[in-house]
């Protein structure tokens, strides 16, 4: 007889009771009961819900039942019956139980109680076995798929831009060097400098900080493209919003102006939030409850007005507020916290870079919705942004979200060769090294635009988590590259 094929718990929980034997495999979350009956909660990661396995200890014997501990892996065969308890419609009446892998209760770090997020970060290899992290990772997957689906439906092409690169895309930003030279005794040239000509790639290279520049090359041939890959910043910032290795989505579109760009970004964000609400309802419900519990521990005046699900619905149901940097500065200058000197950085004049406190004021207090700021001073933005006729501002846009600040940064790109070269020279970027980038403006240049969406930033918003290290499986931060 052929072995009975395993059915995933998500499918079993959606089945009717029946006389057909089924097989479930998964990990024990909890076991409770008495000498007459045991209830084993089994989870296999396919859903946040456990399958309740009902087992008669007398049938399976003490030798087996004592191995059914939290974390153990089981294969259970039995029949689905209507559940007596609340919370599930069917339960599995066990006819055979095989212990696939034991889990020593004395040593297993995950016990059926609430562990702190800090502790779980230290055991990131085991945290997907918790409800919170399995929910987050299922949502992360759904959002990855939704990103590809959104762009594919619209005829965009995903372009794999290189990770190892000799270019420093932002003209700023600390990078990680990639090398195979002997670190203790690197070869030196005549001037006593490290001779990167002898390195693997024949030159000094680093991990990319953005796929944008290569994305532009593709857009100026294929039209609408996007990248979705890891990017790296070697900034020593130990905050709840920064990672050294994080994933970015960077669409780049030929023939788009800034308005088209904003429309696309707003559509994408709404699509992602809507997709999560539609496809991840169970996991969001769990995380919403979790977030609500967290809120209760805060002083009343620091609590969020809306719950997680309400915040998500709010984003879908409302247009983002669009205004220029200049308009924002006026609002901030005349705001209560500025006049009462409550801002750490007071807004005194046009040209100031906006700090997180200013962005939060605009989004959370003033407009109470996502905000798109445009036309920033060129001095505080990257060299490739299209210059406005006022000679002061560039066609930049940042999208600010409640609770997390900037999720999207983008711009219309400077497509005019002379203006681009001039700006590069002003900020000290080598024309020779960027010959390939400039070629797109030399040959068949066209208006084009793009933006970057920080994938973990939008995941923070959607999951209601508050530390970016909790929405990526294995966070990379200063001093930490475990697993």
Burial zone of 35 (CB within 10 Å; 0-12 exposed, 13-18 middle, 19+ buried) = exposed
Asked if residue 339 binds a second copy (CB under 8 A), the reply is no
Complete DSSP assignment for 363-406: IIIIS-S-EEEEEEEGGGS-TTBPBPTTSSEEEEEEEEETTTEE
Strands 157-158 and 90-101: unpaired
Strands 393-401 and 405-412: antiparallel
CB 198 to a second copy: min, Å: 10
Closer Cβ to a second copy, 38 or 167, answer by number = 167
Considering only 102, 168, 321, 364, the residue that binds a second copy (CB under 8 A) is 102
Task: Give the integer Cα–Cα distance in Å for 10 and 27.
Answer: 14
Phi, psi of 187 (to 5 degrees): -65, 145
Query: Tokens 């918790």 belong to which residue?
Result: 130
CA-nearest of 218, 236, 235 to 227 is 218
Residues between 37 and 66 with contacts to a second copy, criterion CB under 8 A: 44-46
Please state, in angstroms and as integers, the Cα–Cα distance from residue 196 to each residue in 169, 176, 200, 206, 428, following that order.
20, 15, 8, 12, 22
Asked if residue 21 binds a second copy (CB under 8 A), the reply is no
CB 277 to a second copy: min, Å: 17
Site string for a second copy, 253-282 (x = CB under 8 A): -xx---------------------------
Residues between 106 and 125 with contacts to a second copy, criterion CB under 8 A: 107-108, 125
Closer Cβ to a second copy, 158 or 326, answer by number = 158
Asked if residue 141 binds a second copy (CB under 8 A), the reply is yes
Asked if residue 387 binds a second copy (CB under 8 A), the reply is no
Asked if residue 431 binds a second copy (CB under 8 A), the reply is no
Closer Cβ to a second copy, 70 or 388, answer by number = 70
Task: Decide: 179 and 199 in contact? Cβ < 8 Å.
Answer: yes
User: Which part of the chain contacts a second copy (CB under 8 A), choosing from 130-138, 264-272, 327-335, 336-344?
Assistant: 130-138
Q: 365: which residues sit within 8 A by CB, 6+ positions away?
A: none
Closer Cβ to a second copy, 66 or 141, answer by number = 141
Task: Give the integer Cα–Cα distance in Å for 331 and 325.
Answer: 10
Total residues binding a second copy (CB under 8 A): 105
Asked if residue 223 binds a second copy (CB under 8 A), the reply is yes
Considering only 60, 150, 247, 451, the residue that binds a second copy (CB under 8 A) is 247
User: Which part of the chain contacts a second copy (CB under 8 A), choosing from 231-239, 359-367, 394-402, 419-427?
Assistant: 231-239
Residues between 447 and 466 with contacts to a second copy, criterion CB under 8 A: 447
Mark out the alpha helices in 36-109 (DSSP H runs).
57-65
CB 434 to a second copy: min, Å: 10
CB 168 to a second copy: min, Å: 13
Closer Cβ to a second copy, 52 or 227, answer by number = 227
Please state, in angstroms and as integers, the Cα–Cα distance from residue 89 to each residue in 68, 83, 85, 350, following that order.
23, 5, 8, 62
Radius of gyration of the chain (CA): 27
Residues between 152 and 191 with contacts to a second copy, criterion CB under 8 A: 152, 155, 157-167, 174, 176-181, 183-184, 186, 188
Which helix H or strand E contains 51, and what residues bound it?
Answer: strand 51-55
CB 401 to a second copy: min, Å: 21
CB 412 to a second copy: min, Å: 14
CB 398 to a second copy: min, Å: 25
Task: Decide: 46 and 10 in contact? Cβ < 8 Å.
Answer: yes
Considering only 57, 229, 337, 377, the residue that binds a second copy (CB under 8 A) is 229
Residues between 283 and 312 with contacts to a second copy, criterion CB under 8 A: none
CB 441 to a second copy: min, Å: 7
Residues between 69 and 98 with contacts to a second copy, criterion CB under 8 A: 71-73, 75
Which helix H or strand E contains 229, and what residues bound it?
Answer: strand 224-232
CB 77 to a second copy: min, Å: 13
Strand partners, 231: 246
Considering only 1, 2, 113, 203, the residue that binds a second copy (CB under 8 A) is 203
CB 419 to a second copy: min, Å: 13
Query: Tokens 């520049």 belong to which residue?
Result: 213
Joined tokens for residue 369: 């919705």
What's the distance, CA 385 to chain centroid? 25
CB 161 to a second copy: min, Å: 7
Closer Cβ to a second copy, 234 or 346, answer by number = 234
Residues between 345 and 364 with contacts to a second copy, criterion CB under 8 A: none
N-terminal to C-terminal alpha carbon distance within the chain: 42
């Amino acid at each position: 007889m052929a072995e009975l094929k395993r059915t995933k718990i998500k499918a079993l929980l959606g089945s009717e009771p029946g006389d057909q034997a089924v097989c479930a495999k998964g990990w024990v979350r909890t076991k409770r009961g008495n000498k007459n009956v045991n209830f084993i909660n089994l989870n296999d990661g396919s859903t946040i819900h456990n399958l309740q396995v009902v087992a008669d200890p007398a049938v399976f014997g003490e030798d087996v039942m004592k191995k059914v501990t939290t974390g153990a892996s089981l294969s259970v065969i039995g029949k689905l019956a209507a559940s007596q308890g609340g919370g599930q419609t069917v339960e599995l009446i066990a006819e055979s139980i095989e212990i696939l892998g034991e889990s020593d209760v004395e040593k297993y770090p995950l016990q059926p109680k609430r562990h702190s997020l800090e502790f779980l970060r230290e055991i990131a290899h085991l945290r997907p076995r918790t409800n919170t992290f399995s929910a987050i990772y299922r949502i992360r997957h759904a959002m990855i798929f939704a990103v590809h689906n959104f762009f594919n439906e619209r005829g965009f092409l995903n372009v794999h831009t290189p990770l190892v690169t000799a270019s420093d895309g932002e003209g700023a930003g600390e990078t990680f060097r990639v090398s195979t030279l002997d670190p203790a005794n690197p070869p030196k040239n005549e001037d006593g400098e490290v001779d990167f000509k002898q390195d693997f790639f024949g030159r000094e290279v680093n991990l990319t900080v953005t796929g944008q520049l290569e994305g532009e090359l593709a857009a100026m041939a294929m039209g609408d493209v996007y990248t979705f890959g890891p990017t790296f910043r070697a900034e020593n910032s130990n905050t709840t919003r920064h990672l050294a290795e994080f994933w970015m989505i960077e669409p780049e579109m030929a023939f788009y102006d800034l308005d088209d760009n904003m429309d696309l970004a707003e559509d994408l964000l709404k699509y992602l939030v809507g997709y999560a609400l539609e496809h991840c309802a169970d996991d969001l419900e769990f995380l919403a409850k979790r977030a609500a519990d967290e809120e209760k521990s805060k002083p009343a005046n620091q609590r969020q007005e809306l719950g997680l699900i309400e915040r998500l619905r709010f984003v879908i149901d409302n247009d983002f507020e669009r205004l220029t940097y200049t308009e924002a500065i006026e609002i901030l200058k005349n705001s209560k916290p500025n006049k009462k000197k409550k801002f750490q950085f007071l807004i005194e004049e046009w040209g100031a870079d906006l700090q997180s406190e200013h962005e939060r004021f605009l989004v959370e207090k003033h407009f109470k919705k996502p905000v798109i700021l445009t036309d920033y001073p060129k001095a505080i933005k990257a060299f490739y942004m299209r210059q406005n006729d006022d000679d002061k501002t560039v066609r930049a846009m940042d999208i600010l979200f409640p609770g997390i600040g900037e999720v999207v940064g983008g711009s219309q790109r400077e497509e005019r060769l002379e203006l681009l070269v001039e700006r590069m020279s002003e900020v000290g970027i080598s024309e020779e090294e960027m010959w390939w980038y400039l070629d797109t403006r030399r040959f068949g240049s066209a208006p084009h635009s793009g933006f970057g969406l920080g994938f973990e930033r939008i995941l923070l918003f959607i999951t209601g988590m508050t530390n970016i290290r909790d929405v990526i499986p294995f966070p990379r931060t200063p001093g930490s590259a475990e697993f």
